[in-house]
Chain A
Amino acid sequence: MSSLPPVPSLSFSLFTPPTTRFGPRLGTIRFKRPEGAEIQIQTPGFLTSASRGVVPHLSRDHYAESSIRWVNLPFESFLDVPPPVPTLVPGKNPLHSFLGYSLGQHVVSMSARDPADGREMPANGNTHVSTYSLRGVRKITPADWRSYVLSCKPDIVFALSDIPFTNPPYSQKRLTKSIERSASWLANILSPPTHTSTYALSEGEYKPNILIHMAGAASVPARRAFASSLVEKLLGPEADAIKPLETLDQGVFGYTFDLVPIRLSLEAAEKQHQDPFYSPVESLPQTPPSAADANSNSNSTSTPSSEVNLDPVIPAHTDQLTPLLHASLEPLPVEKMRLVNTVQTPHEVLRLISTVGIDIFDAHWAQRAADIGVALDFTFPAPSSSSSSSISSTATKTRDNGKHDIGHNLYSDSYTHDFSSFSATPCECRACTPIAPSTRIYHGIDDPSYSNEEPAASSVREKPSFTRAYIHHLLHTHEMSAHSLLVMHNLGVLDTFFASIRRIIQRDMEAQIKGSEVEGGEWEEEVRRFEEYYDESLVVFEEARVMWRDVDLARGRGRLKREKKRQEEGTLGTAVEL
């Protein structure tokens, strides 16, 4: 078979065969390109979320310097004007070349919708998902999705799923539809190209690596039913459609869980339970009032309302998530990759690793923190109570409950004179550790032969860290540079966090192999200490969000309202003033 042209190959391997179905695990995602570049992502690890195809606030030259290995692109933002522009990009790696990601450094995935968008949307149909674009709702059919994927050739693709964003909690009938459609749409993207297809592939050409969102909302039976349907051997025309695969699961690289819709369902169910007169729409901060007046299954809204909170805080319901995720994973092979979108806190990351064994988490929450002026500053393991950093003046604030913030709200005036680095201990990011440029552009009569200056040293020279006081100043003067530096930092903190997570898990595994492990292991102890040490209610985010809005109102006063509103809608209320 060596005569076949080389194809990109994606693999996921666990460090050791898991002893339990659910629990901390170590793995490696390897993505090898035909050109030879291999990207490795150690798990547990994270993916970076893009907005309109780009990582918010970063210049392309910062991509290579930031802790970015996997970028997910919500595709809906390209649907404003058909055909979507990335589908027109020529070449073998259209997304990388169009969006400036590096073939040797970045794995790029594509999802139809932004997993962080919990806005109410018009209902999906039997053959379409309602998606959001700046010019209103756009329908994507499974055939559209397949053609977009085959044109854009993402390294990884999230199969189109029927996730309702109408009025949770959803009826059994609605959930049944959801799992049936999701399975059938998965079959669609798995089916090999036919000879008559315009996207016919010759051997060795692009074949998508597919992730499947685990459908079933907040219902254990529905989730179990969906998962089971993936491993059922298909018969008849269904089987013919996906040949040579026998089950849908055989064509799937990994399983994903978008937490926003699950949380919305759990929240709605809880409210309904507490209050018999509860009307589900009231629990949804993002539900437009007009829709509340209309019948609950109204399909009349053609565009999502903009007079709504685009960035609501949805109660986490973490404890209720675990059994739901278990229900989905139980029928499925244990060795495939598991991905969670829209975690809210590092605490939740730790718990989902502990109780479910999740491998990849999105970084949306940390990127969002950079939007609102929060510099993350936490460590895993948490500082021991005796260690100096917990009493140092550069440590994060301690709350009334005795717990510490996981970051600094740099809007706060307490940072006006604080010249320490974002993290008490500077991290490797370009905000904590800026590197003096080793080259510069010369424009004419300014090279060293004219300036008599030494050319820039080719060795790496680290500059002093950017300070909290400087970012405090930039935030209050509406300077966008603040957010660029904060994004690089927060991604850097996440990178360190996941590296520490892997180190502790590994130590436990090694201890286990030697037979010297203690009860529960170091991991469980450190997770417990982390939860005790750091405040999970994220008061610091709330405070930052309030100040962010205040400064926005005070300083952004002349902006054309229309422009601003569009930007907010397009960025889920996380817009930074341009």
Chain B
Amino acid sequence: MQFEVIARCPTTKARVSRMTLAHGVTMLPTFMPVATQAAIKGLTPEQVESLGVTLILNNTYHLNLRPGLKVLNEVGGAHKFQGWERNLLTDSGGFQLVSLSKFTTITEEGALFASPFTGEPTMLTVRLVVDAPPSTLIAPEPKPEESISIQHAIGADIIMQLDDVVSSLTTGPRVGEAMERSVRWLDRCIAYHEKSGKKERQNLFAIVQGGLDPGLRDRCLDAMIERRDNVAGYAIGGLSGGEEKDTFWRVIKQCADKLPDDSELSVDEYITDCYSNNLQGRDIQWESDSQKIYLSAWPLELIWYGPALLVFIEATDSYLNHIPKADCVFPTRTARFGVALTHGGPLNLKLNKHARDFNPIDVNCPCPTCSGKTSRAILHHTITQETSAAHAITLHNITFQAQVMGRARAAIVAGTFPDYLRTFFAEYFGGAGYPEWCVNALRSVGVDLLEGKDIKMIPGSGAKWEYSDTS
């Protein structure tokens, strides 16, 4: 990996960097769509690439279940399997330990859990015993090493250590235990990765744990920074489990402030951008009426640096946390349920007010949907009926996210990032008011969104959601 900072925002510390991996260059900060099951919902890899996406995520847990390692080994990795020629990142699969299975048991030797689909004990750190009765939990065959081994088979350009994830709302000794264990597991992942001969093409990231406790976070940061010569970058984990937004950004800021900046370090071994592992928390949610698990499709991962950018991205997305139950969707499904993101806020294309609207979602958007003049009316007519409506909105939403990041990069390079933040908030939230936590977080890095403006602040997540025709 090569990593080079090319510009910095003097106010917020946000920066623009060039990251060169085995499958090309990704300019950071970037938007990374999620292809959990080795496909971006409904699109072909050629379409995704043409949108200007240079990095996507596959989920280790899912690919290990299907298609399985044998297939991935036979075909020569996930890039070839899905026809993706640009950069790829995999998570460790650890997050799914908490989110996908209520039977998870974590021991020093690894994690044991049951497949959410079949109930069979499965995966990552468990040796699968095929003939075992489904209800039996098998003694774990440990191993953070196994997570790395699976990620080697997948062959992503960036891979993640196995971490011991606890819900961010957990308190007590379990949080510290998980943090300590994550550090020990990092050592085992490093050792395994070093021996594998895969270091040239695959880059291991550490994941900072420690829950919401600043003391634990600090100890974890110290321990992981000590190992900086052996990791290519850092992710911040263990967040987005339902904690207050103000707590959330403070933890991020604490980590971002402490994680080393490349200026003091050897550039080619190091990347200090943070992979926000926690965002997976929004990627997998529970549908309240049926208690069924939905897996991700819609993509809100990113590589970012510094609280300024984090807030920015979170804000564009925050409406998702407070949507009415009748439209019980989550990020993964927004496109499929007809929500198009625009710089002027999200549009719910299911609403009747769009039924006769022959304008595109955003007349200035360069995506194939908008540049091809696909109207809101035809999207309204086909959404929830035809998969192609979801494809059209997904093409748009991915482009929107990429535009938001691209403009942020441009603003940082131009030295106008604080202005860009203010403009973005003004357009996106308008008179509806700004989320209070965003205002607070950006104040902490020297940007006052309310400067010279009379705008109310919305406590909580600051949802903005077009949920009825009367709104």
Residue numbers of A with Cβ under 8 A of B are 51-61, 77-78, 81, 85, 88-90, 97-100, 134, 416-417, 419, 430, 434-437, 439-446, 450-453, 463-464, 466-467, 469-470, 472-474, 476-477, 479-485, 554, 557-558, 560, 563, 566-567, 570-571, 576, 578
Cα A51 to Cα B386 with chains together (Å): 8
What is the 8 Å Cβ interface bit string for chain B, positions 386-424, against chain A (1 contact, 0 not)? Answer: 111111100100010011011111101100000000000
B406 in contact with A444 (CB, 8 Å):
yes
A482 to B45, CA, bound (A): 12
The answer to whether B290 touches A450 (Cβ under 8 A) is no
Minimum Cβ distance to chain A for residue B269 (Å): 20
Shortest CB distance A255–B (Å): 30
Given contacts A445-B406, A481-B40, A481-B43, 11 further A-B contacts (CB under 8 A): A54-B382, A59-B388, A60-B374, A417-B71, A441-B366, A470-B82, A474-B38, A479-B39, A480-B390, A485-B44, A571-B385
Q: Is there an interface contact between B356 and A59, defined as CB atoms closer than 8 Å?
A: no
Q: Considering the complex, which residues of chain B in the window 69-89 have a beta carbon less than 8 Å from any beta carbon of chain A?
A: 70-71, 74-75, 80-83, 85
Residues of A within 8 A of B384 (CB): 563, 566-567, 578
Contact in complex: A56, B18 (CB < 8 Å):
no
Q: How far is the CB of A419 from chain B (nearest CB, A)?
A: 6
By a beta-carbon cutoff of 8 Å, the part of chain B in contact with chain A is 6-7, 16, 18, 24-25, 27, 37-47, 49-52, 54, 62, 66-67, 70-71, 74-75, 80-83, 85, 117, 287, 289-290, 292-294, 336, 355-356, 358, 366-369, 372-375, 377-378, 381-382, 384-392, 395, 399, 402-403, 405-410, 412-413
- Is A59 touching B47 in the complex (CB atoms < 8 A)? yes
In the bound complex, how far is the Cα of B394 from the Cα of A60, in angstroms?
13
Q: Which of B44, B45, B70, B290: most chain A CB closer than 10 A?
A: B44
Given the interface pairs A52-B382, A576-B387, the reply to whether A61 lies near B368 with Cβ below 8 Å is yes
- Contact status A479-B381, CB under 8 Å: no
Q: How far is the CA of A66 from the CA of B406 in the complex (A)?
A: 32
Do B407 and A435 have beta carbons less than 8 Å apart? no
CB distance from B393 to the nearest CB of A (A): 11
A-chain residues with CB within 8 Å of residue B356 when the two chains form the complex? 85, 88
16 A-B contact pairs sorted by A residue (CB < 8 Å): A51-B385, A56-B386, A77-B381, A100-B373, A100-B378, A416-B71, A417-B70, A436-B46, A445-B7, A467-B81, A470-B82, A473-B81, A474-B37, A477-B37, A482-B39, A484-B44
Q: Is A464 a contact of B83 with CB atoms below 8 Å?
A: yes
B338 to chain A, nearest CB (A): 10
Contact among A435, A445, A472, A578 for B46, CB-based, below 8 A: A435
Are A57 and B387 touching (Cβ within 8 A)? yes
Which residues of chain B are near A60, meaning CB under 8 Å?
A: 368-369, 372, 374, 388, 392
Residues of B within 8 A of A566 (CB): 384-385
B355 touches A446 (CB 8 A): no
What is the chain A residue whose CB lies nearest that of B409? A445
Chain B residues near A419: list those with CB within 8 A.
Answer: 74-75
Residues of B within 8 A of A446 (CB): 27, 52, 54, 406, 409
Q: How far is the CB of A149 from chain B (nearest CB, A)?
A: 19
- Provide the bound-state CA to CA distance between A474 and B372, in Å: 28
Shortest beta-carbon distance from A72 to chain B in Å: 16
A98–B375 contact, CB under 8 A?
yes
CB distance from B287 to the nearest CB of A (A): 5
Q: Is the Cβ of A450 less than 8 Å from the Cβ of B37?
A: no
**A476 contacts which of B66, B85, B377 (Cβ < 8 Å)?**
B66
Nearest neighbor of A442 in chain B, beta-carbon distance? B52
Complex CA–CA separation, A53 to B388 (angstroms):
11
How many A-B residue pairs have C-beta atoms within 8 angstroms? Tell me. Answer: 214
A368–B112 alpha-carbon span in the complex (Å)? 42
Among B38, B47, B389, B399, the residue within 8 A (CB) of A61 is B47
Question: Are B368 and A59 touching (Cβ within 8 A)?
Answer: yes
Determine which of A440, A450, A470 lies in contact with B51 in the assembled complex, contact meaning CB atoms within 8 Å.
A440
In the complex, the chain B residue whose C-beta lies closest to that of A78 is B381
Partner of A59, one of B24, B294, B366, B392: B392
Q: Tell me whether A445 and B377 are in contact (CB under 8 A).
A: no
B46 touching A437, Cβ below 8 Å: yes
Contacts of A472 in B (CB 8 A): 67
- Cross-chain contact of A56 among B50, B290, B388, B395 (Cβ < 8 A): B388
Q: Evaluate contact between B62 and A477: CB separation under 8 angstroms.
A: yes
Q: Looking at B82, B367, B407, which has the most chain A CB atoms within 10 Å of its CB?
A: B82
What residues on A are CB-neighbors of B382 within 8 Å? Answer: 52-54
> Measured between C-beta atoms, what is the minimum distance from B468 to chain A in Å?
18
What CA separation (Å) do A278 and B47 show in the bound complex?
A: 54
Pick from A85, A451, A557: contact of B18, CB below 8 A: A451
CB distance from A434 to the nearest CB of B (A): 6
CB-CB under 8 A from B117, the residues of chain A are: 554
Q: Within the assembled complex, what's the spacing in Å between the Cα atoms of A57 and B49?
A: 19
Partner of B43, one of A59, A99, A473, A570: A59
CB-based contact B71/A443 at 8 Å: no
A28 to B201, CA, bound (A): 55
* Nearest Cβ on chain A to B175's Cβ, whole angstroms: 31
Our pick among A57, A443, A560 for the contact of B406 (Cβ within 8 Å) is A443
Task: Output the least CB separation between A101 and chain B (Å).
Answer: 11
Q: How far is the CB of A138 from chain B (nearest CB, A)?
A: 15
Closest to B333 in A: A578
B390 contacts A61, C-beta separation under 8 Å: no
Contacting B44 at CB < 8 Å: which of A78, A430, A477?
A430
A445 touches B44 (CB 8 A): no
- Interfacial chain A residues near B16, Cβ < 8 Å: 445
A-B CB proximity, top 9 nearest: A443-B406, A444-B406, A558-B292, A444-B410, A437-B50, A480-B42, A445-B409, A477-B37, A441-B52
The answer to whether A567 touches B47, judged by C-beta atoms less than 8 angstroms apart, is no
A88 to B40, CA, bound (A): 34
Q: Are B18 and A578 in contact (CB under 8 A)?
A: no
Residues of A with C-beta under 8 A to B389: 54
> In the docked arrangement, what's the CA distance between A464 and B85, Å?
11
A439 touching B83, Cβ below 8 Å: no
A499 to B378 Cα, complex, angstroms: 33
Contacts of A53 in B (CB 8 A): 378, 381-382
Chain A positions within 8 Å of B388 at CB level? 54-60
Complex formed: what's the CA distance from A368 to B340 in Å? 29
| Closest residue on chain B to residue A479 by CB atoms | B39
Nearest A residue to B16 via CB reads: A445
Q: Chain B: which residue is nearest A88 at the CB level?
A: B356
Which residues on B sit within 8 Å (CB–CB) of A571?
385-386
- A52 and B410 form a contact (CB under 8 A): no
- Determine the chain B residues whose CB is within 8 A of the CB of A563 once the complex forms: 384
Report chain B residues within 8 Å CB of A97. 373
Say whether, besides A430-B44, A578-B336, A439 and B50 are in contact (CB < 8 Å).
yes
Contacts of B412 in A (CB 8 A): 445
CA A476 to CA B67, docked complex, whole Å: 9
Residues of B within 8 A of A437 (CB): 46-47, 49-50
On whether the beta carbons of B25 and A452 are closer than 8 Å, the reply is: yes
Query: Which of B378, B403, B406, B410 has the largest count of A CB atoms less than 10 A from its CB?
Result: B378
Closest Cβ of chain B: how far from A398's Cβ, in Å? 25
B27 touches A445 (CB 8 A): yes
**In the assembly, what is the distance between CA of A98 and CA of B380, in Å?**
12
| Contact of A52 with B66 in the complex, beta carbons under 8 Å | no
Q: Which of B7, B42, B46, B391 contacts A463 (CB 8 A)?
A: B46
Beta-carbon contact of A85 and B355 below 8 Å: yes
- On whether the beta carbons of B39 and A474 are closer than 8 Å, the reply is yes
